[in-house]
Chain A
Amino acid sequence: MDLQVEIKGGTLLARLAGEIDLAAADTLRSSLENELDRNPGVRHIVVNLGGVKYIDSSGLGVLLGRYRRLSREGGGMFIVGAAPQVRKIFQMSGLLGIMREFSNEAEAMDHAG
């Protein structure tokens, strides 16, 4: 699993790559939590899933946990770039109902504002 983050205004852009399963979950969780702790002005996260080859419920759980943290403060999470098999997992989990999907990173970042 690889994670690259950028902070732009009140939005954290997280570019994820690799396989997001139980083995990656703790690292991903603590990395995102640390970024949110260090940057209290962040209200939204844009997750670029372009490099993600595999995700299962362990990975989704980490994202849902961070979404819950942001949504308590009125923020949200947006996703872009999901490959078909990754998108299917998001769709089946119901997460697409709470995490809006954009066709590219720029659009998602604009929306997050």
Chain B
Amino acid sequence: MEPVNRMRVEFTSLPANVAFARVAAAAFASQLDFTLNDLEEIKVAVSEAVTNAIVHGYENRSDGTVVMSVEIRKNHLEIVVEDSGKGIEDLEKALQPAYSTDPERMGLGFAFMQSFSDSLRVESSPNAGTRVTMTKACNRAISSRRDTEVPF
């Protein structure tokens, strides 16, 4: 299905950009008729994906680039978060809830992404990077500008 609208941003792998990414994604998503609860869930899912890119993909280095693209496709949203970091050696293990390589982290990143989206796909290659794709359906389809225009 062709996207109705799309956006793409790339930013440095800095913790401060986690908030930027979630706010940008939620603001874009609000073109669909998502509930406030849905938008909060989108924020968490995006934050977790971007956090993973920074913490695991780039191992907290600030010289990496994270790319986020968001597409509105009639009645659902597709969010892609990509990094070109170290990738995930064992994807099956990484997707298990509570699995973490860091004792200060809960290992809930993918669990939250899964819970707060309708579908989650993770593609990763060691030393090449990770691409996370999430979709979220909106109960009400987008009203295009044409539909809502009031004739003179």
The answer, yes or no, to whether A93 is at the interface (CB within 8 Å) is yes
Q: On chain B, which size bracket covers the interface?
A: 20 to 34
B interface, by DSSP: helix, strand, loop or mixed?
helix
Contacts across chains A and B counted by CB atoms under 8 Å:
57
Q: Which of A15-23, A43-51, A105-113 contacts B (4 or more CB under 8 A)?
A: A15-23
A interface, by DSSP: helix, strand, loop or mixed?
helix
| Residues in chain B near residue A56, CB distance under 8 A | 44, 47-48, 51, 112
CB distance from A16 to the nearest CB of B (A): 16
| Residues in chain A near residue B105, CB distance under 8 A | 57-58, 61
CA distance A62 to B103 in the complex (A): 10
Q: On chain A, which size bracket covers the interface?
A: 20 to 34
CA distance A91 to B63 in the complex (A): 35
B43 A23 Cβ-Cβ under 8 A = no
The answer, yes or no, to whether A41 is at the interface (CB within 8 Å) is no
CA distance A82 to B70 in the complex (A): 30
Known: A56-B47, A58-B51. Is A21-B104 also a contact (CB below 8 A)? no
| Residues in chain A near residue B44, CB distance under 8 A | 56, 89
CB distance from A85 to the nearest CB of B (A): 5
B-contact bits for A37-80, CB 8 A (1 contact / 0 none) = 00000000000000000101110111011000000000000000
Which 5 A-B pairs have CB atoms at the shortest separation, nearest pair first? A23-B15, A22-B15, A57-B108, A61-B105, A85-B40
